[in-house]
Structures are given as C-alpha cells and as structure tokens.
C-alpha cells in the first residue's frame, strides 16, 4: 500500500458500530507532503463524531513487526499515521450483539480510524521508523479501567501480516485473556435526577433492563450544591436525564418559592449544562408548556418564542436556555403530566368515588402527558441518536380542557360526567387564600418533530382510559 495523494476526505463505516475509517487528503510535491490531520468542521460535516479531543499522543516504533496489544480504553480515539505504515486490528469488546466483531485495515498518512470507547485496538508496524498519533477525548488517568484481548485469540483469528512468533511484543501483551474470558465493556453510565418524582419513577421502570443506569434524589445529588462538578466522576457518564424540578407553580409566586424555583429550574440545569459540555455528556432536560403565555391560536412548535407568564414558567424558560448551550442536549417539552402519585386524574377519580361534584376550569386547553409515554419518548431519542435539540412530547389527539378531562374521568370510572361543572380560571381562583400563578390558556404543543424522529405519542384519551384501568 503506497501513499496516495489527492484522496478526497470521506468517512466510511465498518462492521463494528461506531468504528469509522477516514480517508484524508494528502498534498505532496518534491518537498514532501502535507495533510490536515484533524479538522473539526470538515470532519464532522463528513460524518465523524464531534468527540472533543483533549490530549494528543504519539507512538514511535523503529522496527518492523512491533505489535501493540489489543487494548480497549474508556475514551474515544482518532488514530492516524505520521510516517510509515501500520496494520490495524480492532475487536469490539463492548456489551452487545457485536461483541467479538473484528475489523482490520492498513493505515498510512492518508488514512485514519476513529475508535469508539470500548473497542479494542492493536497496531503492527509494516515499515521501519513508523510513527502514529492518536487524539483522545479524556485525559489519561491511573484509575482508568481497560479491557484486553490476547493477540492470538483463536476466536478473533486476526491474520497478522507478520506472524506473532516473529513480532516484537511485550510480555504483558502476551498474557492478555482469550475472548471467552473478557468481561464486556459496559456503556458509560446514565444518571436520572429526580428519581422520586412521577417522571423519575416512570424512567426507573423504562430503564429497568439496563444495568448502567443510576437514579438520584435530591438527597443523593443536590443541584443547588456549590461543588456539583465534584459530586461524581463525570467522565464515566454518557447521559444525564434531568427530571428534577420545582413544580409548585403557585408557591413559586412567594419570595421563598421564587428562590427555590430559580435554584431548581434554572441554576441547577445551568450547572448540569456546564458539566455536560466539559465531559461530552448528553443532557436530557424536561421542560414545560409554561414557558409559553398561551395566547397563540395554534399549537406551539419547538421554535416558538419563549414568553412565560409567571415565576415558574420564567425559571423553566431560563433552564431551557441554559441547557441549550450544551452541544449534546435534548430538551423534552411536555404538559399536564400524569403518572404514579398525586395528580389531577387521581383527584377527579377520588371525587367521583366520594360523591363530590367539582367545579373545574374550562378555559385552559391542552393534552395530558403520561409519564410512561414521556419516558419511552426520552429513551427513543437517546437510543436512536436523534438530532439534538428541543422536542415537544405530550399525548396526541384532540385538545381538551381540564373540565373535559374531568368529565372523561367521571365517565370512565362509571359516574355521571354531568356532575362536573365548568368554570373560568378567574372564578375558580377568586377565593384563593394565597398567590395564584398565571396559567397559559393554550398549552397544546405541536408534535410533528418527534413524530418525524420516529416516535408517535399515544392518543391522550386512550392513554387516560388505560391509566384509569390499571391505577392502584
């Protein structure tokens, strides 16, 4: 394989998910050659992950046949050749269906490889005085955990150009385990905040099949903590789902509530955004219809201008703006949330059962959002690698008022829906003892973006019927 000049920049996939071959343009003349070894904008446009390298290492080998053991590191790597030529072998050592998959290719200065975390990599020099460089997106640490595979593993069956018997190999590399003895590398951890809330419990159920997910309450991890950046070894995390929030919309209008709302809904997410940016973490943040004033005549799309009315909505809008600064973020905007715990639907079912005929607001319009569906939607965005950004996620179907929903609850639980009396928001709160937060009159969110991303939210009325049939 001779050095090829003028090759166009391109990124090619391999049988190992995430392992990418990069053809690099090399420009040469009688003086030698030049290449852009790492050019973020061009390479990400071509399909390479924007993996955020923080360290550049160089390995020099003066003898042909020098062979480095198969090591899987806990970071991503971009490997390229400065001079000479190498044979590269990669083995997927990550948990999953592709564990043990092998890919090999020769590299010279015109070809590089992107190696994702957990994929074992090994290199054998094919020319003297060979040097190759690798960018990594985490600093070396003595606490880093590696996985190793024996170079001669019969299952991988790598066809080394220079037989291992005649290669230069360290004694340590010769003693690495066979594939059947390798513990697969787990994914980076996922952290769910707000684990004791309605959505937090739904997320616990949704991700119960994954062993790398952690759940934290405020007692475990306080977003108001001044040392949040030191609260975890963040380099070990790949996803943070922030389901924690201050949701007492009326209490937020008090001096104490205002401070609490801004701390939980704005300052906390801002701190998480800084951590996510620094460590390449995907940050999922749950937002609210209250970031809008509800005056629009149509459903609110994700790009609609923020226009919150009260303190709660203002603090949530500030949190959204902060989270949007993280390169890898999903802002999941929802409304009228119903899950495991005290909520409007359970209250109406209890009133119906106890023979109480309620007055219910009939001039606010929206759709119910069930926590199990929100959790499934969040998992869909993460698992499919959907484009980062903001997504509306509520139940689908016709818009309803709170009074309409109350009547549905009465009817579905075998009670007369006419027992529910519709009243205006102003009349409902006329005798309130404390401060009352302004509510958006239109809370309907446009769902087309998340549908286009491959997730179709269930019909809210059907979901309500199923919820009532299975509630405790």
Q: What is the pLDDT of residues 363-376, one digit of tens each?
A: 999 999 999 999 99
CATH topology of domain 189-470: Rossmann fold (3.40.50)
CATH topology of domain 10-181: Jelly Rolls (2.60.120)
> Mean pLDDT throughout 280-290?
97
Average pLDDT for the chain = 94
> Mean pLDDT throughout 129-135?
94
Confidence of residue 144 (pLDDT cuts 50, 70, 90): confident
Q: Residue 467 above 70 pLDDT?
A: yes
**The pLDDT of residue 222:** 86
Q: Are strands 189-193 and 237-242 parallel, antiparallel or unpaired?
A: parallel
State how far the Cα of 436 lies from the Cα of 284, in Å rounded to an integer. 30
> Mean pLDDT throughout 403-432?
95
Q: Residue 1 above 50 pLDDT?
A: no
More confident residue, 328 or 32: 328
Q: Residue 232 above 80 pLDDT?
A: yes
**The pLDDT of residue 472:** 63
Q: Where are the domains of the chain?
A: 10-181, 189-470
**The pLDDT of residue 226:** 75
Percent pLDDT > 90 in the chain is 86
pLDDT, tens digit (0-9, with 9 covering 90-100), for 42-70: 999 999 998 889 999 999 999 999 999 99
Enumerate the active-site residues.
71, 134
Dihedral in degrees, nearest 10, Cα atoms 155, 157, 163, 164: -30
State how far the Cα of 63 lies from the Cα of 404, in Å rounded to an integer. 79
């Amino acid at each position: 394989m001779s050095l090829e000049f003028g090759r166009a920049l391109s990124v090619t996939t391999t049988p190992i998910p995430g392992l990418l071959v990069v053809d690099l343009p090399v420009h040469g003349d009688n003086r030698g050659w030049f290449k852009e070894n790492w050019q973020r904008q061009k390479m990400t446009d071509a399909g390479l992950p924007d993996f955020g390298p923080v360290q550049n290492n160089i390995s020099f080998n003066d003898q042909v046949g020098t062979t480095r053991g198969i090591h899987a590191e806990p970071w991503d790597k971009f490997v390229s050749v400065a001079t000479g030529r190498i044979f590269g072998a990669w083995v997927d050592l990550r948990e999953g269906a592709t564990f043990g998959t092998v890919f090999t290719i020769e590299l010279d200065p015109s070809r590089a490889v992107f190696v994702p975390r957990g994929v074992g990599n090994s290199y054998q020099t094919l020319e003297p005085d060979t040097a190759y460089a690798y960018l990594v997106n985490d600093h070396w640490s003595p606490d880093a955990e590696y996985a190793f595979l024996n170079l001669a593993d019969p299952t991988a069956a790598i066809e080394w150009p220079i037989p291992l018997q005649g290669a230069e190999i360290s004694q340590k590399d010769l003693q690495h385990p066979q594939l059947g003895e390798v513990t697969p590398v787990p994914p980076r951890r996922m952290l769910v905040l707000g684990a004791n809330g309605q959505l937090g419990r739904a997320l616990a159920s949704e991700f119960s099949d994954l062993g790398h997910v952690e759940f934290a309450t405020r007692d475990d991890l306080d977003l108001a903590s001044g040392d949040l950046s030191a609260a975890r070894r963040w380099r070990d995390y790949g996803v943070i789902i922030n389901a924690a929030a201050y949701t007492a919309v009326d209490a937020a209008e008090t001096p104490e509530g205002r401070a609490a709302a801004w701390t939980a809904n704005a300052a906390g997410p801002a701190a998480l955004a800084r951590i996510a940016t620094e460590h390449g973490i995907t940050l999922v943040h749950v937002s609210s219809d209250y970031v809008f004033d509800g005056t629009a005549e149509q459903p609110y799309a994700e790009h609609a201008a923020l226009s919150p009315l009260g303190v709660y909505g203002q603090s949530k809008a500030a949190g959204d703006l902060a989270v949007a600064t993280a390169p890898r973020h999903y802002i999941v905007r929802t409304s009228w949330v119903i899950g495991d715990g005290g909520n409007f639907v359970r209250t109406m079912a209890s009133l119906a059962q106890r023979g109480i005929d309620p007055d219910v607001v009939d001039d606010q319009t929206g759709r119910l959002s069930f926590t199990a569906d929100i959790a499934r939607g969040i998992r869909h965005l993460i698992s499919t690698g959907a484009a980062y950004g903001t997504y509306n996620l509520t139940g689908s179907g016709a818009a309803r008022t709170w009074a309409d929903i109350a009547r549905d609850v009465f009817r579905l639980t075998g009670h007369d829906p006419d027992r529910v009396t519709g009243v205006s928001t102003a009349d409902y709160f006329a005798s309130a003892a404390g401060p009352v937060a302004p509510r958006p009159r239109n809370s309907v969110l446009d769902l087309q973006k998340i549908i286009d991303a491959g997730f179709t939210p269930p019909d809210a009325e059907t979901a309500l019927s199923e919820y009532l049939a299975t509630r405790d």
